């Protein structure tokens, strides 16, 4: 897959570094890029403990813009979860819905932990 991307691109370098860092799953999440598209990732997060989501596994997609990490990812949850609409881009400060609040120092790990953290909160 690497040969199809410009390895000098800041976005590609960053995404490949994050892919290496996220290679091993944790108790809370697992994420990896598609085999044929470095800019689309699939992830699974575990529902946070001591909440109505505990024990649940929630699958989703992350679409990274070509300008990543200068622009935020779009995040779509695919598993019905009662918090975020399925198959629609979620609206969080770490997502493409709020580019004004995105920080380039944030990563996919940051986004996954934010999803877990926001699950038990009530949306507006």
Catalytic residue (one of 91, 106, 113, 114): 91
How many angstroms separate the CA atoms of 88 and 3, rounded?
31
Task: Give the CATH number of the domain where residue 24 resides.
Answer: 3.10.110.10
Instruction: Look at residue 36 and tell me if it is in a domain.
Output: yes
Least confident of 13-17, 81-85, 120-124: 120-124
Residue 2 has pLDDT above 70, yes or no: no
Residue 3 has pLDDT above 80, yes or no: no
pLDDT digits (tens, 9 = 90+) for 54-63: 999 999 999 9
**What residue spans of 1-107 are helical by DSSP H?**
10-21
Instruction: Look at residue 94 and tell me if it is in a domain.
Output: yes
Instruction: Look at residue 123 and tell me if it is in a domain.
Output: no
Instruction: Look at residue 124 and tell me if it is in a domain.
Output: no
Residue 1 has pLDDT above 60, yes or no: no
Give the pLDDT of residue 13.
95
Residue 122 has pLDDT above 80, yes or no: no
pTM assigned to the model: 0.89
The total domain count for the chain is: 1
Range of the domain at 54: 2-118
Angle at 24 between CA 109 and CA 95, to 5 degrees: 20
pLDDT digits (tens, 9 = 90+) for 69-93: 999 999 999 999 888 999 999 988 8
Whether residue 91 lies in the annotated active site: yes
């Amino acid at each position: 897959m690497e040969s199809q991307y410009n390895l000098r691109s800041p976005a590609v370098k960053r995404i490949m570094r994050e892919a290496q860092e996220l290679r091993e799953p944790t108790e809370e999440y697992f994420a990896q890029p598609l085999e044929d598209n470095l800019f689309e990732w699939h992830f699974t997060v575990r529902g946070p403990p001591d909440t109505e989501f505990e024990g649940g596994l929630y699958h989703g997609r992350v679409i990274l813009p070509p300008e990543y990490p200068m622009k935020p990812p779009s995040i779509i949850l695919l598993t019905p979860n009662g918090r975020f609409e399925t198959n629609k881009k979620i609206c969080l400060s770490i997502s493409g819905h709020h580019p004004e609040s995105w920080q380039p120092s944030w990563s996919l790990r940051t986004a996954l932990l934010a999803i877990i953290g926001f699950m038990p909160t009530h949306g507006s």
